[in-house]
């Protein structure tokens, strides 16, 4: 038993050490990519909390957008530190998740319909941000007022700081994923995903279980959005809100594999590293080439590998090669 | 009554025609194959590019170019069905939704790769009709008329022809129709072609009013789904009514507030109505 546990933990410690050492051995460019992978990986993980139980939300662009905009707005117009602004943004996202989630679950809006209601939600968020262009800068985006290196403003021009933050947050996201996966709610949520009526009949509180996972997912997504805006020091409605981002989140989580803890992060690695590699190898002559290949791969993934990259790897590892 | 409000309402009705036409094809696909083509508006975008190149670049007469585009998009619809939908017909509905969502991304990026992000128009501007003090664009009127004709033609096709009846029957009971000797795969393929052709027809009408660029689908796609769902997915008449309700919200909202706010109102209306009448506007 002990031996088994050691074998599982040893590679994790090794991996943690490897990740911690990254900023000391690489360039700012690699660090920049790594931070994006970790932060987006965190957001994708947050989405998969719902996704793996059949709650396919196309509304996460709304939660991400709220998280990304509230804190910079409060900072620019009220001088409120992100240490308070980010929790406020997260709370607002949670509130929105409840406003949409409660009636959806009460009235049993599921499947296609849940996806389309949440899709409308992400469009509402995007259009509201664009419409409020006097304060949000509309489609042009906005920049949080820069003050240089500051803990108070949560601004760090040096990349290793943000790498450390992103790493801690990402590990936290993986932790939440495991917490949900190992907790009692998981069996209940699996049952709900299979057959909601039957689950309710055997005494599962469908509403409570669904709302809990929805709130957790929305809160983490908004938190991820806040950190993304804090890191990039720029927010734009098209890259942080709306249907495009919602689809990006869903695809990355699915491409990576939403049924494994590291799947969504693998999706992040794939969706951020692939365009970078394609861009470097093909130059900027072919605008859109990277995305075209990415889009084609997505469709192929969904058709042939619904469990994603990590799902495929796990299956290979689980099934020992046949002996002749 | 305020003359500008009246103009907004009339333009709303005309916009409703275009939206109804867009919803028609999507509704047909959903009703028969039980799949939502998230990339439907991107097929329209492809059609608009076809017309742009055939008419604007190769100089084909506009009518022939339009006809070619309708056939072209019908072909794309069949390809989409054969390559993407049919391999996953048996899997979870949400996978089908996402696979076509992947196609949305693919088509958008491919258009960016091939044509760049420039806004292009075919350089054909139809006159604006002045009616009292009200200005109505001729192209919108044309789109409205075509939407009505398209809806009636589709209705006749579905209710009077063998193929159309087979399509509706399949939508009602997939298993039994197989036993009755209807080839499901063939019906699905034809439905995809008809759905594609309707997207092509929408492209012909939209290209008269809007510049084409790779992301134009995003301005019509979401509202089209909302309309189909609001009308009750697969319910043609419901979709038609919903198109006009939504277009009025957009037109009048745009008159009183701004165009973004009007879309916000439309989407919020959609969300609220999904809670009140999840089966659609016309559900009993």
Q: How far does the CA of residue B42 sit from the closest CA of chain A (Å)? A: 13
Percent of chain A past pLDDT 70, that is, above it, reads: 94
B260 vs A121, A131, A254: nearest CB: A131
| Residue B263: other Cβ atoms inside 10 A | 26
CA-CA distance, B43 to B181, in Å (whole number)? 32
Is residue A266 one of the residues assigned to a domain? Answer: no
**Exposure letters A88-108 (e unless 16+ CB within 10 A, then b):** bbbebbbebbeebbebbbeee
**Chain position carrying tokens 């932790």:** A175
Q: Using CB atoms, pick whichever of B109, B222, B261 lies closest to residue A131.
A: B261
How many percent of chain B have pLDDT more than 90? 24
pLDDT band, residue A186 (cuts 50/70/90): confident
> Is A251 in contact with B267 (Cβ distance < 8 A)?
no
Dist CA B260 CA A153 (whole Å): 32
Residues of B in Cβ contact (< 8 Å) with A308 = none
Among A56, A119, A121, beta carbon nearest to B225: A119
Q: Give the distance from residue A308's alpha carbon to the nearest chain B alpha carbon, in angstroms.
A: 12
Number of domains in chain A: 1
A75: pLDDT strictly greater than 60: yes
- The whole-number pLDDT of residue A172 equals 93
For testing contact with chain A, the best of B97, B214, B234, B257 (most A CBs within 10 A): B97
> Which pLDDT score is estimated for A21?
75
pLDDT above 90 (res A219):
yes
pLDDT higher than threshold 90 for residue B129: no
**Residue at A274 is within a domain:** no
Are the beta carbons of A264 and A47 closer than 8 angstroms? yes
Say yes or no to pLDDT of A323 above 60.
no
Q: CA-to-CA distance for B224 and A272, rounded, in angstroms?
A: 31
A259: in domain: no
Domain membership flag for residue A171: yes
Low-confidence winner among B76-80, B110-114, B135-139, B162-166 (lowest mean pLDDT): B135-139
What pLDDT is stored for residue B82 in this prediction?
93
Chain B partners within 8 Å of A127 (Cβ): 260-261, 263-264, 267
Q: Is the pLDDT of residue A5 over 70?
A: no
Q: Do B102 and A251 touch (CB under 8 A)?
A: yes
Contact B98 A107 (CB under 8 A): no
Statement: residue B205 has pLDDT above 90: no
DSSP conformation class of B169: H
Note which residues in 260-279 of chain B have CB less than 8 A from chain A: 260-261, 263-264, 267-268, 270-271, 274-275, 278
Residues of A in contact with B106 (CB under 8 A): 292, 295-296, 298-299
Measured between alpha carbons, how far is A69 from A142 in angstroms, rounded to an integer? 9
- Residues B199, B75: contact at Cβ < 8 Å? no
- Name every chain B residue with its beta carbon within 8 A of the beta carbon of A251: 98, 101-102, 105
d(CA B139, CA B125): 8
Rounded to the nearest 5°, which phi and psi values hold at B22? Answer: -60, -40
Inform me whether the pLDDT recorded for A139 exceeds 60.
yes
| DSSP one-letter code for A284 | G
Rounded mean pLDDT, A296-323: 74
Mean pLDDT of A301-323: 72
* Section A30-46 average pLDDT: 93
Does any domain span residue A56? Answer: yes
Identify which of A169-173, A178-182, B209-213 has the greatest average pLDDT: A169-173
Q: How far does A227 lie from chain B, in Å, by closest CA?
A: 26
Q: Report the gap between the CA of B192 and the closest CA in chain A (Å).
A: 18
Across B173-202, average pLDDT: 85
In whole angstroms, give the CA distance from residue A261 to residue B68.
49
* The pLDDT value given to residue B234: 72
Q: Can you give the residue range of the structural domain that contains A65? A: 27-242
Question: What pLDDT does A107 receive?
Answer: 85
* B residues 31..60 contacting A (CB < 8 A): 36
Per-residue pLDDT tens digits for A272-300: 887 788 777 776 666 677 778 878 888 88
CB contact under 8 A, B271 and A117: yes
Average pLDDT for A217-239: 93
Nearest to A296 among B87, B91, B106 (CB): B106
pLDDT at A211: 93
| A87 or B140, which is more confident | A87
With CB atoms and an 8 Å threshold, state whether A117 touches B274: yes
**pLDDT value at B47 more than 90:** yes
Contact: B116, A299; criterion CB under 8 Å: no
More confident residue, A122 or B96: A122
pLDDT band at B138 (very low <50, low <70, confident <90, very high): confident
- What are the C-alpha distances in Å from A324 to residues A318, A321, B198? 18, 9, 56
pLDDT digits (tens, 9 = 90+) for B58-99: 888 888 999 999 999 999 999 999 999 888 887 777 778 888
- What's residue B53's pLDDT? 92
What pTM does this model have? 0.86
Query: CB distance A112–B233 less than 8 Å?
Result: yes
Q: Find the closest chain B residue to A124 by CA distance.
A: B264
Give residue A182's pLDDT band: very low, low, confident or very high (50, 70, 90): confident
Q: Which of residues 130-169 of B touch A (CB under 8 A)?
A: none
pLDDT reading at B124 higher than 60: yes
Q: What are the chain A neighbours of B98 within 8 Å (beta carbons)? A: 56, 250-251, 254, 302
A6: confidence class by pLDDT, cuts 50, 70, 90: low
| CATH code, residues B3-122+140-276 | 1.10.3470
Bigger pLDDT: A202 vs B122: A202
- Inform me whether the C-beta atom of residue B109 falls under 8 Å from chain A C-beta atoms: yes
* pLDDT(A1) > 50: no
Least confident of A77-91, A277-291, B131-145, B184-198: A277-291
Mean pLDDT across chain A: 86
Q: How much is the pLDDT for A322?
A: 53
Examine the pLDDT at B21 and tell me if it is beyond 90: no
For residue range B240-253, what is the model confidence (pLDDT) as tens digits?
889 999 999 999 98
Any domain includes A265: no
Instruction: Identify residues of A whose CB sits under 8 angstroms from chain B CBs.
Output: 54, 56, 100, 103-104, 107, 109, 111-113, 115-117, 119-121, 123-124, 127-128, 130-131, 243-244, 247, 250-251, 254, 286-292, 294-296, 298-299, 301-303, 306
Nearest to A299 among B93, B99, B275 (CB): B99
B109 vs A121, A123, A295: nearest CB: A295
Residues in chain A with CB shorter than 8 Å from the CB of B116 are: 287
Q: Is the pLDDT at B197 greater than 60, yes or no?
A: yes
**Closest partner CB to A291 (pick from B109, B261, B270):** B109
Partner residue opposite A298 with nearest CB, options B102, B108, B270: B102
> Residue A230 has what pLDDT?
93
- Confidence at residue A283, expressed as pLDDT on a 0 to 100 scale: 67
- Which whole number is the average pLDDT over B111-129? 80
One DSSP character per residue, B173-217 reads -HHHHHHTT--HHHHHHHHHHHHHHHHHHHHHHHHHHS-B-TTHH
Beta-bridged to residue A235, according to DSSP, are A142
Residues 203-262 of B with CB under 8 A from A: 214, 218, 221-222, 225-226, 229, 233, 258, 260-261
- Asked which of A43-57, A167-181, B86-100, B210-224 is least confident by mean pLDDT, the reply is B86-100
Please choose, from the candidates A89, A60, A42, A93, the residue with its C-alpha nearest in 3D space to the C-alpha of residue A215: A93
Q: pLDDT confidence of A111, banded at 50, 70, 90?
A: confident
pLDDT band, residue B239 (cuts 50/70/90):
confident
Select from A272, A263, A273, A275 the least CA-distant residue to A301: A263
Question: Hey, what are B243's tokens?
Answer: 């198109």
Residue B46 has a pLDDT of 95
């Amino acid at each position: 038993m002990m031996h088994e546990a050691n074998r599982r933990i040893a590679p994790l410690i090794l991996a943690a050490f490897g990740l911690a050492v990254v900023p000391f051995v690489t360039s700012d460019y690699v660090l920049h990519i790594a931070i994006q992978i970790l932060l987006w990986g965190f957001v994708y993980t947050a989405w998969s909390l719902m996704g793996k139980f059949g709650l396919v939300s196309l509304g996460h662009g709304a939660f991400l957008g709220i998280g990304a905009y509230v804190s910079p707005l409060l900072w620019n117009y009220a001088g409120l530190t992100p240490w308070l602004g980010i929790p406020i943004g997260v709370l607002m996202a949670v509130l929105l998740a409840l406003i949409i989630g409660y009636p959806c679950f009460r009235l049993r809006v599921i499947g296609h319909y849940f996806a389309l209601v949440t899709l409308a939600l992400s469009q509402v968020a995007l259009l509201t941000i664009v419409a409020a262009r006097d304060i949000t800068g509309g489609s042009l985006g906005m920049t949080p007022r820069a003050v240089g290196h500051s803990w108070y403003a949560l601004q760090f021009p040096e990349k290793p700081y943000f790498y450390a933050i992103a790493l801690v947050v990402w590990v936290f996201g993986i932790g939440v994923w495991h917490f949900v996966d190992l907790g009692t709610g998981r069996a209940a949520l699996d049952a709900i995903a299979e057959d909601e009526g039957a689950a309710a009949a055997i005494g599962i509180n469908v509403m409570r279980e669904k709302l809990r996972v929805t709130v957790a997912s929305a809160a983490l997504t908004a938190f991820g959005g806040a950190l993304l805006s804090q890191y990039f020091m720029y927010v734009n409605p098209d890259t942080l809100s709306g249907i495009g981002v919602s689809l990006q989140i869903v695809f990355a989580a699915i491409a990576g594999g939403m049924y494994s803890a590291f799947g969504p992060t693998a999706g992040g690695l794939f969706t951020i590293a692939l365009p970078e590699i394609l861009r470097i190898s093909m130059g900027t002559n072919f605008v859109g080439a990277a995305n075209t290949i990415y889009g084609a791969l997505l469709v192929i993934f969904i058709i042939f590998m619904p469990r994603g990259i990590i799902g495929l790897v796990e299956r290979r590892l689980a099934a020992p090669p046949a002996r002749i | 009554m305020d003359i500008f409000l009246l103009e907004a309402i009339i333009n709303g009705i005309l916009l409703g025609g275009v939206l109804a036409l867009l919803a028609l094809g999507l509704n047909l696909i959903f009703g028969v194959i039980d799949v939502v083509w998230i990339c439907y508006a991107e097929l329209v975008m492809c059609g608009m590019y076809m017309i742009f190149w055939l008419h604007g670049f190769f100089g084909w007469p506009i009518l022939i170019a339009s006809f070619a585009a309708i056939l072209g998009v019908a072909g794309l619809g069949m390809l989409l069905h054969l390559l993407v939908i049919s391999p996953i017909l048996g899997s979870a509905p949400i996978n089908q939704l996402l696979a076509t969502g992947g196609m949305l991304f693919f088509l958008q990026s491919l258009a960016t790769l091939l044509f760049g992000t420039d806004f292009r128009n075919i350089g054909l501007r139809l006159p604006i009709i002045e009616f009292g003090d009200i200005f109505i664009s001729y192209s919108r009127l044309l789109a409205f008329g075509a939407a009505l004709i398209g809806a009636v033609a589709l209705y006749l096709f579905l209710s009077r022809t063998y193929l159309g009846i087979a399509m509706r029957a399949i939508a009602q009971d997939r298993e039994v129709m197989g036993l009755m000797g209807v080839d499901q795969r063939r019906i699905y393929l034809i439905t995809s072609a008809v759905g594609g052709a309707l997207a092509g027809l929408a492209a012909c009408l939209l290209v008269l009013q809007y510049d084409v660029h790779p992301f134009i689908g995003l301005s019509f796609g979401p509202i089209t789904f909302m309309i189909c769902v609001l009308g009750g997915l697969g319910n043609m008449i419901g979709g038609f009514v919903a198109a006009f309700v939504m277009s009025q919200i957009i037109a009048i909202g745009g008159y009183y507030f701004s165009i973004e706010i009007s879309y916000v109102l439309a989407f919020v209306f959609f969300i609220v109505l999904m809670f009140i009448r999840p089966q659609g506007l016309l559900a009993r």
